[in-house]
């Protein structure tokens, strides 16, 4: 396999960026595509289980990728990025895996099953063991690990829960302890994405609802602040130092202060952003669908903090790379457009 045209990203759980190199990872069926936005080159990793990849995540040092898959008896797999080989696989889930993530110290991999699977597993993957496990009764949309390694947070339908890590004896599986957030007036919301604060905000947790409510949780699991975004709906959330970035309908990208939740910037839809043709490496394919006034909603969004490039995937399967070094004047570094639905036939011209 040399090149993949297309992607099967459905949420932030299936898009990840290596914070060290800026390498982007996303699934295309049963293939992990490693995409370098600087030169437009791809490196594919094939799933040895031949099942569709539903979620993936880079480790903090960028040397490994954890994946989850769909289908009967799906596996959590850990791959080496350097040699594109599978290191280990776990098959404790039954009906599919909705999200995976590494702990910041790389000791654990957390995997969350589909709604009918109802299982959260914490894997001590280097020792090939299941460290902790528990059940959930709702559909989990996203998971995020705190940067102090003490807990991780899951969100879903009327669900925001903090799960606390405790030392476990070797080769021993313990029930992981979880405590629900105090949601009060937001208890009936569908929470689509979650992320933990960085730097001075590392004790804060941020969650976004489908209806566009951005919530800030403190260390006591209580809603400290909240703000209603002026969008029809919102699905993605990511943090950079001192800022929270939200992606929603009509291609809107909203930037808020992580401490006060005051609005800072609004990035316009991609059709109105000035294109950067001066860069040496620009892979740009313009089609009419990305330039129309009604821009597809944002499905996934991640930011390379080192270079301040933002990678955004829209509902029509287009991948846009913004240069946001200056939020007041964003530029489009690269744009890749693919088929927006099923491909029924191909022909080769010799």
Instruction: Assign 228 a pLDDT band (cuts: 50, 70, 90).
Output: very high
Q: What's the whole-number mean pLDDT along residues 225-251?
A: 90
Q: What residues are paired with 195 via a beta bridge?
A: 206
Decide: helix, strand or coil at residue 42. strand
In a domain, residue 90? The reply is yes
CA distances (Å), origin 239, targets 162, 259, 349: 18, 11, 46
In a domain, residue 236? The reply is yes
In a domain, residue 213? The reply is yes
Judge whether residue 54 has pLDDT over 70.
yes
Judge whether residue 268 has pLDDT over 70.
yes
In a domain, residue 139? The reply is yes
In a domain, residue 344? The reply is no
In a domain, residue 310? The reply is yes
Judge whether residue 6 has pLDDT over 50.
yes
Q: What confidence score (pLDDT) does residue 233 get?
A: 87
Q: What confidence score (pLDDT) does residue 271 get?
A: 52
Question: Closest Cα partner for 233 from 261, 202, 254, 258?
Answer: 254
In a domain, residue 164? The reply is yes
Residue 250's domain is classified under what CATH number?
2.130.10.10
Judge whether residue 138 has pLDDT over 70.
yes
Instruction: Assign 83 a pLDDT band (cuts: 50, 70, 90).
Output: very high
Instruction: Assign 170 a pLDDT band (cuts: 50, 70, 90).
Output: low
d(CA 205, CA 207) in angstroms, rounded, equals 7
Structural domain that includes position 105: 12-337
Tell me how many domains the chain contains.
1
Q: What's the whole-number mean pLDDT along residues 278-282?
A: 36
In a domain, residue 286? The reply is yes
């Amino acid at each position: 396999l040399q090149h993949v045209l297309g992607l099967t990203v459905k949420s932030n759980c299936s898009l990840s960026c290596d914070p060290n190199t800026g390498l982007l990872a996303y699934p295309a069926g049963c293939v992990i595509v490693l995409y370098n936005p600087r030169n437009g080159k791809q490196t594919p990793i094939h799933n040895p289980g031949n099942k569709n990849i539903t979620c993936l995540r880079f480790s903090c040092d960028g040397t490994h990728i954890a994946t989850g898959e769909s289908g009967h008896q799906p596996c959590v797999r850990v791959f080496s990025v350097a040699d594109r080989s599978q290191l280990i696989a776990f098959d404790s889930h039954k009906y599919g895996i909705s999200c995976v993530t590494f702990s910041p110290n790389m000791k654990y991999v957390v995997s969350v099953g589909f709604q009918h699977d109802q299982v959260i597993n914490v894997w001590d993957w280097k020792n090939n063991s299941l460290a902790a496990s528990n059940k959930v009764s709702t559909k989990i949309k996203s998971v995020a690990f705190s940067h102090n390694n003490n807990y991780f947070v899951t969100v879903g339908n009327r669900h925001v829960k903090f799960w606390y890590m405790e030392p476990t004896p070797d080769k021993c599986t313990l029930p992981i302890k979880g405590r629900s957030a105090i949601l009060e007036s937001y208890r009936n919301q569908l929470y689509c994405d979650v992320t933990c604060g960085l730097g001075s905000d590392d004790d804060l947790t941020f969650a976004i609802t489908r209806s566009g409510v951005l919530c800030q949780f403190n260390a006591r699991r209580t809603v400290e602040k909240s703000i209603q975004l002026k969008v029809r709906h919102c699905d993605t959330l990511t943090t950079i130092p001192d800022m929270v970035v939200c992606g929603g309908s009509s291609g809107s990208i909203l930037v808020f202060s992580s401490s006060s939740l005051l609005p800072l910037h609004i990035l316009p839809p991609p059709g109105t952003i000035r294109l950067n043709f001066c860069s040496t490496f620009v892979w740009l394919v313009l089609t009419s669908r990305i330039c129309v006034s009604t821009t597809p909603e944002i499905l996934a969004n991640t930011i390379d903090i080192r270079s301040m490039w933002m990678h955004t995937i829209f509902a029509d399967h287009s991948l846009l790379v913004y240069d946001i070094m200056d939020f007041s004047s964003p530029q489009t570094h690269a744009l890749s457009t693919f088929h927006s639905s099923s491909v029924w036939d191909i022909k080769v011209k010799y």
